[in-house]
Structure 1
């Protein structure tokens, strides 16, 4: 267990989430110029469901030391009920309300999308702290990431996306370098379209323009694990030693920017920490709950 790395990954995830959300809130015709000139939005920068659900993952790891799926489902539903205005995905409103009303999570999750389950990027966006928590054991990372995904996303591609991000975070924390990190992720991601697109980005130079990579594999415009995770893993691998540059690069292609930046922020911060983040970024980002920084507080 590496709680310190998990907390750092969580902070990076929240920063990326909040930073990315600012681009979604701007008029579309002004975004490209603002990115070119690196003009930040005024604070505060609120975080979204990406961070809210990552907090629940960490809460359950703190309490149980592993992913207790029933407890995680309740934590997700309780957090949603307490604050449903965090830009949750459309299908998650029904899922989390149903769990809150007492329906078994396995039933609720598997009836989505004609029984296929959601293959959205929600399981991937929240999982980086878990990858950091179990970073010393990649087998456990894979198993626990899959268990965390299944609570809300039954589709195998959504599970694969969560596994990929968790492994990327564990590898980042462990000091694995750029291209080797992507290869480590490919080796442990269940076969399917997520894995196929990861193999594609593994062949792209880390010096490439992120927009080129997004054109190949997507950048979250479909809100799926398939078109989100490979792009985010590549962006993280290309900037493993500079969190701020990683987030600027990730935002460059557009798409589901809060989620791609949350994923990248979690992967990279688990390695770098947040000491290099500019002070105005840190002050603009919405603070995390007090229990995150004080393990003695009730969670």
Structure 2
């Protein structure tokens, strides 16, 4: 992107990085209780997604936020050297998998297991078009300006866990959306579509391009996201298939590019994989608005431990420093003896909540 295409009103990259990290976390925490519920069932069981409901008033994060944090740590430690980033990211992902995270996708779990037994990160991924790579793409789009370099990072981040090209193309669309969200204040749906098609013109991504073209037409016609999803037979909820997740997230983002609250709430109301879709949308919009655009009561309500809001702000600040100076550093770390008991407690909570969701109202 040329300097002329970057508005003088664009947020600083530091604002974009912090807005992305906290935007992902808030969307993740708000959407978590609604995960895998239909649109109607989620509304009847929990009402409006206007507060944290897994534990009333307390926002808890899941793998969506954790993966963005892991990517940020590897970027701080290895900078923009993609060959060094890959083994570092794989090592951190393996460690994350050992500590028993809850609610993780099948492909990611298998890839982590393969890494644990010594399979190289170049061969650890499995053929899957899940949305795992897309969920960790926002922080890449906020941290890496250059699109060619960003594309390489998306590619290696994807293939550690998912080898289906659809997973990579979907992750690229999300990373590009985040990148343009904060760099181009004059961005329009057509302009995004043009940049997307330009960057994957030589790839077998015709299906994604066709889907995004339908998104653009729908947004420009003023169609709501729920009506658009109904037309795609996704009225009961957005699945974890990347070509369901990405068009839905892009539609919400392009409908509310400057409105974090409406964007995240609209995405959650669509049902399905609500924590991941809301995390992705939150990351894209948060990159544009910075933390100032995220409702302060939602940020204040994030009280997970040990990945606290304070810790995530420290991580985001360290990444911004690394990007600004070009220097690598030891990123903020979390000891295993904090993460493991937290994950076990979270798993217990999730299982208990699963039983609660079997009860009325239906």
Which deviates the most, 236-245 or 203-212?
A: 203-212
Matched, 1:211 2:211: no
Residue 187 (structure 1) aligned with residue 198 (structure 2): yes
> Which 10-residue stretch deviates more, 137-146 or 34-43?
34-43
Find the aligned partners of 1:267 and 1:158 in 2 and give their Cα distance.
Answer: 18
Q: CA deviation at 1:47?
A: 1.1
Aligned-residue offset at 1:119: 1.1
Give the Cα separation in 2 of the matches to 1:203 and 1:36.
31
Separation (CA, whole Å) in 1 of partners of 2:113 and 2:70: 16
Match of 1:92 in 2: 108
Q: CA deviation at 1:247?
A: 0.4
Task: Kindly state the Cα deviation for residue 259 of structure 1 after the two structures are TM-superposed.
Answer: 1.0
Whose Rg is larger?
2
Q: Distance between the aligned counterparts of 1:214 and 1:250, measured in 2? A: 11
Deviations 1:194-241 (A, max 9, x none): 222112111113532111222344487431111111110121111111
Deviates more, 1:166-175 or 1:99-108: 99-108
User: Deviation at 1:93?
Assistant: 1.7
User: 1:140 offset after TM fit, Å?
Assistant: 2.1
The 2-side partners of 1:250 and 1:45 are apart by: 17
Q: CA RMSD in A?
A: 2.6
Distance apart, 1:78 and its partner CA? 1.0
The CA distance in 2 between the partners of 1:64 and 1:297, in whole Å, is 10
State the shift of 1:37 in Å: 4.9
Q: Highest relative contact order (Cα 8 Å, sep 6+), 1 or 2?
A: 2
Report the equivalent of 1:59: 73
Task: Give the 3-state SS of the residue equivalent to 1:203 in structure 2.
Answer: helix
Describe how 1:149-228 pairs up with structure 2 within 5 A: 149-174=158-183, 175-179=185-189, 180-189=191-200, 190=203, 191-206=205-220, 207-217=222-232, 218=234, 221-228=238-245
Are the counterparts in 2 of residues 157 and 192 from structure 1 also a CA contact under 8 Å?
A: no
Hey, what's the Cα distance between the residues in 2 that align with 1:96 and 1:21? 23
Q: How many Å separate the matches in 2 of 1:58 and 1:121?
A: 19
Partner of residue 251 from structure 1, selected from 252, 268, 274: 268
User: Does 1:120 pair with 2:130?
Assistant: yes
Q: Which residue matches 2:58? A: 44
Calculate the TM-score normalised by the size of structure 1: 0.87
TM superposition shift of 1:250: 1.1
Q: Any gaps of 5 or more consecutive residues in structure 1?
A: none
> How many residues are aligned here?
291
Do the aligned partners of residues 298 and 280 (structure 1) sit closer, same or farther apart at CA in structure 2, a change above 3 Å counting? closer
C-alpha separation between the residues in 2 aligned to 1:262 and 1:48? 10
**8 Å CA contact retained: 1:73, 1:99:** yes
TM-score (norm 2): 0.73
Distance 2:164 2:132 in 1: 12
Shift in CA distance, 215/28, structure 1 to aligned 2, threshold 3 Å? closer
Change (3 A) 1:19 1:187: farther
